[in-house]
Structure 1
Amino acid sequence: MLKDAQGLIVTTDSVQAIAAINRFIDQALCYGQDAETAIFKAIEADPTCALAHAYAAAYYLTQENSKAWQQVQPYLQVAQRNLAKITDREKLYVQAILAWANQEIDLAIGFHEEITNKFPGDLISVQQGQYHYFYTGNKEKLLKIAQKVLPSNPQQDYLYGMVAFGLEQCHQLKAAEKIARQAIALNRYDPWAHHALAHVMETQGRVNEGIAWMESFADTWENCNSMLYSHNWWHIALYYLEQENYQKVVSLYDTQIWERANKQSPKDQVGAISLLLRLELRGVNVGNRWQSIIPYLYSRIDEHALAFQDLHYVYALAKAGHTGWVNQMLQSMQYHAIRINPFLQKSWLEVAIPAARGMVAYAKGDFNTAVTELKLVLPRLHEIGGSHAQRVLFKQIYHDAVLWTQKQSWVYGITA
């Protein structure tokens, strides 16, 4: 047995495997583009290392698509075969990833909480616990799982970024900014800390400062994975949107967001869809850009990895006029909601599906239906995940639909 860079025991005798695991941990925490390569090197160095296989499975699960779920299975099988000989921490982690793969998110969260209680140096568990809390809308616990291990990790700069984001999501903006700046003082190359402060400045309307801040760190994102690279540029685009510099927003979409995206990645697709939608809400003609996204969305129709993603997919399909695909997806969402884990079922049935109907209605210009469907679910949209900055889009759609219904009532009133 050897220790990783976090000081935690890993069941392996391979120095090469430990070095690769350390590289994976660093890449995962900094959203680097080499996480996949690193974890495969660990498996190659020690094919029996259960933790390395669990990390590989976790990496694929973060992709949130059906192809990745299929890729997960062989790694989980190896991890399970080697359960008997590994440490308690590793067993808990394998169980957490198994639960995630089975979409038993409540169980996965429980395992990550237990790991972070007993082994506060395990920052991968903190990160993945935050991930689950983010997509189930529990902002308080998203913050607490990171805060509780901070005293044990005073020099772990990536943890400061996690805490900063949790503080921002809990509207503790002053504290969030302070700790984000601490993170960056420890490590200028911490894109999640940049991201946390971008949220703070956006919430406070510090548009010019936000642009200058984010663009001053843009050079450090070149080694990020496509998700965070494009997402941090997405935040810059939102600042320019507030300035009504729409030409700049379209340019960023073309050069930094969709052009640099992994076009097979759900999260990259969601970012692109949401930015086009925001531009159209401002009256900007986005040309044929919807059509460039649509070919990548057919495989999403029956996927249902995250409800938050589905709302974007179904809107884009409706916007592009694929009525048959839209109807197929709405039916598939209903079927999925009926058979999903009870922990997630209520939010799918009572929030996601009505919201999806509202998004489709808005895309079709049926503003009365859009208002009816969205009005009741807006207060509960946090239950399906996403940040404040991401979810505000649905409120904007609702308010725009209200304005259209008022205009229609006025026109019909005059003509009557």
Structure 2
Amino acid sequence: MLENRDGYWITTHSTQTIDAIHRFTDQSLGYGRMAKPAILDAIAADPTCALAHAYAAAYYLAQENAVTWQQAKPHLHIANSLADQTTEREKRYIQAINAWAVGDIHRAIALHESITEQFPRDLMAVQQGQYHYFYLGDRQGLLNIAEKVLSANGDQPYLYGMVAFGLEQCHRLPEAERMAYRAIEITHCDPWAHHAIAHVLETQRRTDAGILWMEQFAETWERCNTMLYTHNYWHLALFYLAKGDMQTVLDLYDQRVWGWACKASPKDQVGAIALLLRLELQGVEVGDRWIHLCPYLFARIHEHALPFQDLHYVYALAKAGHGDRAREMLTSMQVHALTIPPQLQSAWTELAIPAARGLLAHAREDWQIAMAELKPVLSRLWAIGGSHAQRNLFNQIYQDAAAKIEAYPALRTAS
């Protein structure tokens, strides 16, 4: 066994594996584009390192698509076969990734929480715990898992950005801004801290400040993975949208949000869909962009990684003229909801599926049904995950349907 830089044992005799795991950790916490080659280097240096295989499995699971889920399986199999020979920290981490792989998200969270209690400098456990809390809509959990280890990580810039985002999601905006600034004081190139302040400035409607803030850091995002690169530019586009500069928003979509995207990435797809839809809600003609986007979404129809993402796919399929595929996806969502752990079912059956019906109605300009389906669930959509800024889209769709009915009294019903 060898110690890592935080003083925790890793079951390997390869210093090259330790070095590569450190690179992987830095890349993951900083949303760098070199995380995958780093962890594959770790495995190449020691194919019997269980933790390296577990990290690889987690990397592939986080890509949220069927192809990478399959790529995760052999790494998880190897990690499990070696787990008996590992440390307690490594065992718990492997168990957490196993739970994630079978959809037992609450168990995964519990394991990450237990790791951070005993090993507070394990920021990979913190980050992955935050990931799960985020998509359960548990903003307090998102904050707590990071905030509780601050005292043990005063030298870790990435943790400050993680805490800052949790504070923002809990509506503690001044504290979030101060915490993000602490991250940037340690390292200028912390894209998650940039992102946290973007959320603060957008919530406070400080549009010009948001543009200045994001543009001063934009060149540092070149080293990011496509998810955060495109997402930070998405936030910049929202500031320009609020300013009414629609041409700049279209340019950012074409050149950064979708133009730079990994076209097969669900997160990149969701960002593009959300920006196109916001443009249309502002009356902007987006041309054939829906049509060019849509072929990349067919693979999503039966995956159902996250209900938050599925709502975007359903709408985009309908907008691109594939109403039949959108309805197929809605049916598939209903089937999927019957196959998942009971504690996750309500987010699908009570929230995502009615919302999907409302979105399909809006896409086909059936404003009355759109309102009827969306109104009962809007206040509870936090439970499907996503940030305040992202979920605000569903409120905008509802308000658009209401405005259409107001503008066209004949569309009203007796109800």
* Normalised-by-shorter TM-score class: over 0.9
Counterpart of 2:66, as a letter, is S
Q: 1 CA distance for matches of 2:354 and 2:178? A: 39
Q: Could you tell me the percent identity over the aligned residues?
A: 60
Counterpart of 1:258, as a letter, is W
Counterpart of 2:137, as a letter, is G
3-state SS of the aligned residue for 1:279?
helix
- What's 1:124 paired with? 124
CA 1:89–1:412: 2 relative to 1, 3 Å? closer
TM superposition score normalised by structure 2:
0.98
Q: How does 1:256-267 map to 2 (within 5 A)?
A: 256-267=256-267
- What's 1:389 paired with? 389
Shift of 1:371: 0.2
3-state SS of the aligned residue for 1:82?
helix
- What's 1:17 paired with? 17
Shift of 1:407: 2.3
**Residue deviations 1:285-332, cap 9 Å, x none?**
000000111110111000000001100000000111212211211110
3-state SS of the aligned residue for 1:376?
coil
Q: How does 1:31-46 map to 2 (within 5 A)?
A: 31-46=31-46
- What's 1:221 paired with? 221
Q: 1 CA distance for matches of 2:386 and 2:129? A: 15
Shift of 1:3: 1.6
Q: How does 1:242-257 map to 2 (within 5 A)?
A: 242-257=242-257
Q: Are the equivalent residues in 1 in contact too, given 2:230–2:256 (CA < 8 A)?
A: yes
Q: How does 1:55-94 map to 2 (within 5 A)?
A: 55-94=55-94
Q: Are the equivalent residues in 1 in contact too, given 2:237–2:252 (CA < 8 A)?
A: yes
TM superposition score normalised by structure 1:
0.98
Q: 2 CA distance for matches of 1:315 and 1:100? A: 27
Counterpart of 2:238, as a letter, is L
**Residue deviations 1:188-226, cap 9 Å, x none?**
010000000000000001110110011000111101000
5+ unaligned residues in a row in structure 2: which ranges? none
Q: 2 CA distance for matches of 1:369 and 1:5? A: 57
3-state SS of the aligned residue for 1:321?
coil
Counterpart of 1:270, as a letter, is V
Q: Are the equivalent residues in 2 in contact too, given 1:105–1:343 (CA < 8 A)?
A: no
- What's 2:342 paired with? 342
Q: 1 CA distance for matches of 2:384 and 2:6? A: 32
Shift of 1:343: 1.6
Counterpart of 1:340, as a letter, is I
**Residue deviations 1:63-102, cap 9 Å, x none?**
0111111111100110001011100000000000000000
Q: Are the equivalent residues in 2 in contact too, given 1:158–1:183 (CA < 8 A)?
A: yes
Shift of 1:2: 1.0
Counterpart of 1:18, as a letter, is I
**Residue deviations 1:10-46, cap 9 Å, x none?**
1101000000000000000000000000000000000
3-state SS of the aligned residue for 1:339?
coil
Q: Are the equivalent residues in 2 in contact too, given 1:89–1:119 (CA < 8 A)?
A: yes
- What's 2:175 paired with? 175
Q: Are the equivalent residues in 1 in contact too, given 2:50–2:78 (CA < 8 A)?
A: yes
5+ unaligned residues in a row in structure 1: which ranges? none
Q: 2 CA distance for matches of 1:268 and 1:412? A: 37
Q: 2 CA distance for matches of 1:294 and 1:173? A: 36
**Residue deviations 1:312-368, cap 9 Å, x none?**
000000111212211211110000001111121011100000011111110010111
Q: Are the equivalent residues in 1 in contact too, given 2:4–2:10 (CA < 8 A)?
A: yes
- What's 2:158 paired with? 158
Counterpart of 1:188, as a letter, is H
Q: 2 CA distance for matches of 1:6 and 1:199? A: 31
Q: Are the equivalent residues in 2 in contact too, given 1:50–1:80 (CA < 8 A)?
A: yes
Question: Aligned pair 1:97/2:90, yes or no?
Answer: no
Q: 2 CA distance for matches of 1:384 and 1:66? A: 20
What do you get for the CA RMSD once the two structures are aligned?
1.0
**Residue deviations 1:202-260, cap 9 Å, x none?**
00011101100110001111010000000000000000000000000001101111110
Q: How does 1:355-394 map to 2 (within 5 A)?
A: 355-394=355-394
Q: Are the equivalent residues in 1 in contact too, given 2:202–2:210 (CA < 8 A)?
A: yes
CA 1:50–1:391: 2 relative to 1, 3 Å? same
Q: Are the equivalent residues in 1 in contact too, given 2:126–2:146 (CA < 8 A)?
A: yes
3-state SS of the aligned residue for 2:154?
coil
**Residue deviations 1:354-391, cap 9 Å, x none?**
01111111001011110011001101111010000000
- What's 1:271 paired with? 271
CA 1:411–1:8: 2 relative to 1, 3 Å? closer
3-state SS of the aligned residue for 2:338?
helix
Q: Are the equivalent residues in 2 in contact too, given 1:301–1:332 (CA < 8 A)?
A: yes
Q: 2 CA distance for matches of 1:4 and 1:389? A: 37
Q: 1 CA distance for matches of 2:412 and 2:140? A: 47
3-state SS of the aligned residue for 2:377?
helix
- What's 2:354 paired with? 354
Q: 1 CA distance for matches of 2:408 and 2:284? A: 21
Q: Are the equivalent residues in 1 in contact too, given 2:368–2:412 (CA < 8 A)?
A: no
Shift of 1:411: 7.2
Question: Aligned pair 1:408/2:408, yes or no?
Answer: yes
Q: Which moved more, 1:335-344 or 1:236-245?
A: 335-344
Q: 2 CA distance for matches of 1:201 and 1:412? A: 38
- What's 2:287 paired with? 287
Counterpart of 2:174, as a letter, is K
CA 1:42–1:407: 2 relative to 1, 3 Å? same
Q: 1 CA distance for matches of 2:122 and 2:196? A: 21
Question: Aligned pair 1:48/2:45, yes or no?
Answer: no
Q: 2 CA distance for matches of 1:8 and 1:230? A: 34
